[in-house]
A and B are shown apart, each in its own frame.
Chain A
Amino acid sequence: MMHHPARHIGHHAMMMMTHSMRSGAGVAFIFLTIIIGLSLANLTVTPVELEMITVEELQDSSAKFIGVALATATLRASGGDDNSDSLTSRMETGDLVDLGMWARYLVVENPMLLSITVLLLGVVLPLLLPLGSFTVISGDVQHRTVRYLLPRTTRSSILLGRWLGSLILSWALILFLISSVVIYLSIMIPSESLEDLIPWGGRCFLALFFLTIPYVSLGILCSATFSAPMVALLAAIGATVGIPLLSLSLQEAWEPLGNLLYLLPWGYSHQLLSPSMENFFEASAYCLGHAALFLTLALLKFRRADL
């Protein structure tokens, strides 16, 4: 009997997605991602929808807030201790004018409410994605269900198939969230036109598409490393939250330690929404590099593991 790795990977991916619709952890992931994603969108849209704030006022305050956040992320490595007022003035006329333009690109040149929703998703998704992948390997290893598969397929096919299944499921959820927000905004907010929303929605989807790959791969790595699913989940979320916190606190003691942030995409992920396509491609390449690293480690671990 001929073994067809690509076909097996496809079978495992399909089974993984089907299983997610029926298993407790899978349903929880789908439900939480949709609920939290839509809640973030609601949080952004409601003040404008209820006319608690005008579009212009929100644009102004968001541009300042996003600008300061971008400046903090960009200047972090150089250890800038500027306050938000000085950063704002530097973005308007000084050396940080590029960042000011970047903020305006997100909230003035493109549909603001969609940009804000996607920026919030960019922060929350890394914490949600492990929910979709922590049991992918560890669950079957813990219950030894994987032993029914091993005589029929290779370990690499199982891991790659389930990784692909997790990715496709995550992308489908993100596509659903962005489509929902685009449709809702086009109906409820007259200033947001569908002609502007659709191309920007596509760009936002691409940004989250690439952001998803390393975090799903990290979840798979934790799932392949720890046979207890809860330990795998804690490890994935712990690393996602712990690395930026550790990096920021250690940076105070010794500045180069701030580069620990680059162990995960936190250090460059904001570039996925950069007005410069060069920066976007660079950040996408980093995402793929991170994913390749995590996936290779997961494969090495899983192929050598006693199951």
Chain B
Amino acid sequence: MNTKTHSIHIEGLEHRFGDKVALSDINWQLPEKGIVGLVGPNGAGKTTLFSLIAGFLRVQRGKIGILGADSPNHPSLVGRMGVMPQDAIFAKDISIFDQLLFLMKLDGINGTRAENRALEIMKRVGLEKEIHRGASILSHGMGKRLGVAQALLGSPEIVLLDEPTAGLDPANARQIREFMREVGKNALVIVSSHNLLELQDLIDEVGVIVAGKLVASGTVEEVTQRDRRFEVTFGVPVTPEMLVQVDQLDGVQSANYDGFQMSIDLDASGENGLNQALLELQQKLVDLGTPAYELREGASLEQAYLKLTSDTQHTSEEG
């Protein structure tokens, strides 16, 4: 099994809950560092895959190699992974501080060093005032932040975060994203989320899982290369004529408009890729006398995701 250049190597993974197939023939190699997104509809198998990588569930069929070990439960992995499970709760009758100290004790960190680290990490997630209280007083969002904090307590080489920003207010979500970026420089962070716009700005690679199958994986560019959506804002309202002109360009797959904005899906698979398609578009807008006031990449990942999930659903319906 090649685990030299990949921190996680998944081969032929299949998992069932009774008769229900939760995951089927998953093959995926994940890099040593960076942030990898795992996306998919509800019930697609994301949490099952997380749970298998984290060692919560036993591998039924296939292989998961992690950091050179041939099983997620291998003793050599102890303390090398940080996991934020989606639905786990902290013990309610012990203070958060004591629980964090215990987790660090397992990681081999004791005394003042452990206390300082616990305070530091709680500050990073904005929970320093709650550290000496019980977990029962935490709101849903606070619980999420505590989950992220405990996952990053030690120095994990792999961090699994299952919907870490779900239910967080924008400021806290941003704080967590910044934290993930920092950790992703030295470790592999795998994060699942339904917020694809958030993921698009955050991740280096993505895996799309639909109905238990990994239907696409790779860098964001690789996954979205055929459908790059751009939002163009004009100084004047968009007219149907402008839309027709833009839609006729070779690099444009489809276009829509609403008020002063036009959403354009570019085909980046041509000879010069995205650059050529963008150049043609901008040239055409100048020729039409309606230059773009603002041009920014839109929900490309979301677009790709919707297309992939839709394709897979159609395929399974036809099958």
Per the bound structure, the CA–CA distance linking A130 and B77 in Å amounts to 33
Give complex CA distance A148, B103 in Å: 8
Residues of chain B lying within 8 A (CB to CB) of residue A153:
78, 106
Q: Is the CB of A151 within 8 A of B82?
A: yes
Determine which residue in A24, A150, A307 has the highest number of CB atoms from chain B within 10 A of its CB, and name it. Answer: A150
Q: Tell whether B65 is near chain A: CB-to-CB under 8 Å.
A: no
Per the bound structure, the CA–CA distance linking A18 and B93 in Å amounts to: 11
Q: Which of B51, B73, B91, B103 has the most CB of A within 10 A?
A: B91
| Given A19-B94, A147-B83, A306-B57, A152-B75 contact (CB < 8 Å) | no
Judging by beta carbons under 8 Å apart, are A151 and B91 in contact? no
In the complex, which of the residues A5, A18, A22, A147 contacts B54, with contact meaning CB atoms closer than 8 Å?
A: A147
A22 & B94 in contact (Cβ 8 Å cutoff)? yes
Asked if B73 and A152 make an inter-chain contact with CB atoms under 8 angstroms apart, the answer reads: no
Question: Of all chain A residues, which has the CB nearest B93?
Answer: A22
Interface mask (B65-98 → A, CB under 8 Å = 1, otherwise 0): 0000000010111111111010111110110001
Docked pose: A283 CA to B89 CA in angstroms = 43
Partner of B150, one of A15, A18, A148, A155: A148
Task: Using known A-B contacts A8-B106, A148-B150, A155-B73, determine if residue A19 contacts B85 with beta carbons closer than 8 Å.
Answer: no
The reply to whether A151 and B54 form a contact with Cβ atoms under 8 Å apart is: yes
Does B79 lie within 8 Å of A152, measured CB to CB? yes
Interface pair B79/A150, CB less than 8 Å apart:
no
Q: Does A277 contact B (CB under 8 A)?
A: no
Q: Mark A133-173, 1 if CB is under 8 A from B, else 0.
A: 00000001001111111111111000000000000000000
Nearest CB of chain B from residue A15's CB, rounded to whole Å: 5
Q: Does B55 contact A (CB under 8 A)?
A: yes
Interface residues of B in 157-188 (CB under 8 A from A): none
Q: How large is the interface on A (under 10, 10 to 19, 20 to 34, 35 or more residues)?
A: 20 to 34
Query: CB-CB contacts of B92-131 with A at 8 A, as 1s and 0s?
Result: 0110001100110111100000000000000000000000
Contact between B85 and A144, CB atoms less than 8 A apart = yes
Task: Please determine whether B83 and A151 come into contact, CB atoms closer than 8 angstroms.
Answer: yes
Q: How far is the CB of B140 from chain A (nearest CB, A)?
A: 15
Q: Which single member of A23, A24, A145 contacts B88 (CB below 8 Å)?
A: A145
Q: Does A253 contact B (CB under 8 A)?
A: no
Contact A144 B87 (CB under 8 A): yes
A162 to chain B, nearest CB (A): 13
Number of A-B residue pairs at CB separation under 8 A: 89
Pick from A1, A15, A140: contact of B78, CB under 8 Å: A1
Residues of A within 8 A of B103 (CB): 148-149, 152
Question: CA of A151 to CA of B106 in the docked complex: distance in angstroms?
Answer: 10
Given that A152-B103, A306-B57 are contacting pairs, would A3 and B85 also be in contact in the complex, using a CB cutoff of 8 Å? no
Tell me the complex Cα distance, A5–B77, Å.
13
Q: Is the CB of A144 within 8 A of B82?
A: no
Closest Cβ of chain A to B176, distance in Å, is 18
Of listed A8, A11, A22, A146, residue having the most chain B CB within 10 A:
A22
Which residues, 1 to 34 on A, are CB-close (under 8 Å) to B?
A: 1-5, 8, 11, 15, 18-19, 22-24
Residues of B in contact with A, size category = 35 or more
On whether the beta carbons of A150 and B58 are closer than 8 Å, the reply is no
Given that A3-B75, A155-B73 are known contacts, is A150 also in contact with B54, CB under 8 Å in the complex? yes
A154 near B102: Cβ-Cβ < 8 Å: no
Q: When each residue 230-256 of chain B gets 1 if its CB lies under 8 Å from chain A and 0 otherwise, what string results? A: 000000000000000000000000000
0/1 string, A272-307, CB within 8 A of B gives 1: 000000000000000000000000000000001111
The complex places the Cα of A220 from the Cα of B106 at a distance, in Å, of 22
A149 touches B87 (CB 8 A): no
Kindly state the separation between the CA atoms of A304 and B103 in the bound complex, as whole angstroms.
23
List A contacts of B77 (CB < 8 A): 151
Q: CA of A135 to CA of B56 in the docked complex: distance in angstroms?
A: 19
Residues in A whose Cβ lies below 8 Å from that of B88:
143-148
Question: Are the C-beta atoms of B106 and A149 separated by less than 8 Å?
Answer: yes
Residue from the set A1, A153, A305 with the largest chain B CB neighbour count within 10 Å: A1
**Within 8 Å CB of B108, what residues of A?**
1-2, 4
A19 to B99, CA, bound (A): 10
Which chain B residues lie closer than 8 Å to A11 at the CB level? 102, 105-106
Q: List A contacts of B89 (CB < 8 A).
A: 143-145
Bound-state CA distance A15–B79 (Å) is: 18
Are B56's CB and A147's CB within 8 A? yes
Measured in the bound complex, the distance between the Cα atoms of B234 and A258 in whole Å is 91
State whether B75 touches A150 (Cβ < 8 A): no
Across-interface contacts of B99 in A (CB, < 8 A): 148
Specify the chain A residue showing the minimal Cβ separation from B146: A148
Q: B residues engaging A (CB < 8 A)?
A: 51, 54-58, 73, 75-83, 85, 87-91, 93-94, 98-99, 102-103, 105-108, 150, 154, 156
- Listed in ascending order, the chain A residues whose CB lies under 8 Å from chain B are 1-5, 8, 11, 15, 18-19, 22-24, 140, 143-155, 304-307
19 residue pairs A–B, Cβ–Cβ below 8 Å = A1-B79, A11-B105, A18-B94, A18-B98, A22-B93, A140-B91, A143-B91, A145-B91, A147-B54, A147-B83, A147-B85, A148-B85, A149-B103, A150-B54, A150-B83, A151-B82, A152-B103, A155-B73, A306-B51
Which 9 pairs, one residue from A and one from B, show the smallest C-beta to C-beta distance? A144-B88, A3-B78, A152-B106, A1-B79, A147-B85, A147-B88, A151-B81, A22-B93, A306-B57
Other than the given A3-B79, A145-B89, A148-B88, 6 more pairs (CB < 8 A) read A1-B79, A23-B93, A145-B90, A149-B103, A150-B55, A154-B75
